[in-house]
Structure 1
Amino acid sequence: MTRIVHLTDLHFGFHRQAMVEPLLERIDALRPDLVVVGGDLTHRGLPGQLAQARAFLDRIAAPVMCMPGNHDVPLWNPVARTFWPFAGYRRLFGPSLTPVGRAGDVRVMAINSADPYSWQRGKIRAGEISRVIGHVDPIGTNIAALHHPLQQLPRVDKALARRATEALSRMEAAGVQVVLSGHLHRWAVDELLATGRHPRVLQIQTGTALCARLTDRQNEFALLDIEGADLRLERHMAPMQAMAFDPPQVGQYSRASGVWRRV
Structure 2
Amino acid sequence: MAFRILHISDVHTGPPFNPAAAERLIADAHTLKPDLVVISGDFVQRADFAAQWRAARILRERLPQPQLVVAGNHDVPLFNLPERLLHPLRRYQQQISPDLNPVFTAPGLAVVGACTAHGWTVDGGKLYPNQMTALRQRLSQFGPDVYKIVVWHHPVALPPTYRRKRVTISNAHEAIRLLDELAVDLLLCGHLHISFVGNTRDFQPDVRHGTYIVQSGTTTSRRGYGPEHGMNTCNLITIEHDGACVQHLRLDQHGDGFRPFAEHWLPRQTVTVTGS
2:256 corresponds to 1:227? no
Structure 2 equivalent of residue 206 of structure 1: 216
Equivalent residues of 1:33, 1:103 under 8 A apart: no
Q: Which residue matches 1:150?
A: 156
Aligned to 1:41: 43
| Aligned with 2:20 (options 18, 21, 29) | 18
Say yes or no: does 1:3 pair with 2:4: yes
Q: Deviations over 1:159-211 (max 9, x none)?
A: 22122211112221221110001001111114876557356211001110011
| Alignment match, 1:84 | 87
Q: Helix, strand or coil for the counterpart of 1:112?
A: coil
Native 8 Å contact 1:69 1:113 kept in 2: yes
Counterpart-to-counterpart distance in 1, 2:201 and 2:28: 28
| SS at structure 2 position matched to 1:65 | strand
Runs of 4+ aligned structure 1 residues displaced above 6 Å come to: none
Q: Which residue is equivalent to 1:254?
A: 267
Q: Is the 8 A contact 1:146 1:181 kept in 2?
A: yes
- Distance in 1 (CA, whole Å) between partners of 2:224 and 2:155 is 22
Unpaired runs of at least 5, structure 2: none
Contact persistence 1:4–1:32 (CA under 8 A)? yes
Q: How much is the aligned-residue C-alpha RMSD, in angstroms?
A: 2.1
**Does the 8 Å CA contact 1:22/1:244 hold for their aligned counterparts?**
no
* Distance in 1 between residues matched to 2:256 and 2:117, nearest whole Å: 31
Specify whether residues 43 and 173 from structure 1 end up closer, same or farther in structure 2 by C-alpha distance, changes over 3 A only: same
Compute the TM-score of the two structures, normalised by the length of structure 2: 0.86
1:108 positional shift = 1.1
- Aligned residue type for 2:178: R
Cα 1:13/1:62, change in 2 over 3 Å = same
Following superposition, the deviation at residue 79 of structure 1 comes to 2.0
What's the offset of the Cα at 1:232?
Answer: 1.2
Quote the Cα distance in structure 1 between the aligned partners of 2:126 and 2:204.
24
Structure 1, unaligned runs of 5 or more: none
Q: Distance in 2 between matches of 1:150 and 1:113?
A: 11
Return the alpha-carbon distance in structure 2 between the equivalents of residues 30 and 57 of structure 1. Answer: 16
Q: Which residue of 2 aligns with 1:59?
A: 62
Length-normalised TM-score, structure 1: 0.90
2:26 maps to a residue whose letter is: L
Change in CA separation of 1:193 and 1:169 when aligned onto 2, cut-off 3 Å: closer
Structure 1 residues 194 and 213: CA distance shift in structure 2, 3 A: same
* % identical aligned pairs: 27
- In structure 1, C-alpha distance between the alignment counterparts of 2:130 and 2:85, rounded to whole Å: 21
